[in-house]
Structure 1
């Protein structure tokens, strides 16, 4: 059992948390997420213009992101029904769980 699931059971959650929240607490920048993985955005860092741009693309807290392909930190992702590529510099600003 992962740490969060154990914690939920201890707090009376009974392990009924949705599958996407069953994580060990590890957080990675999107640029390091493995190809084929689906992750949840936990934080977007950067200046206000960058955060606004990423939000308009669908990178908001709680959004599910599937990494379709990855090469040297550049990623092709699927988020909210759209598929597109982002560079590693932008992907480093998106923290996932």
Structure 2
């Protein structure tokens, strides 16, 4: 299921990243790699602040939909 369907505070494992190679590379550079744990800290105006690899990252809902957990 996409990351956007998880609840705030739930820790999930990233199974895959969907999208074009450019999108996958962008998310990989932010720390979103297969096998990593990710959790949603908060949602603000549809955008998400997530914790990945001990770092807080803000991503759009569109990007979060490409992350399958």
Tell me, yes or no, whether TM beats 0.5. Answer: yes
**Which structure has the larger Rg over C-alpha atoms?**
1
Q: Any stretches of 5+ residues in structure 1 without a counterpart?
A: 1-27
Q: Any stretches of 5+ residues in structure 2 without a counterpart?
A: none
Cross-structure match for 1:82: 55
Distance 1:35 1:70 in 2: 8
Greater RCO, 1 or 2 (C-alpha within 8 Å, sep 6+):
2
Which TM-score applies when normalising by structure 1?
0.66
Which TM-score applies when normalising by structure 2?
0.91
CA RMSD of aligned residues (A): 1.2
Q: Which runs of 4+ in 1 moved over 3 A?
A: none
**Normalized per residue, which structure has more helix?**
1
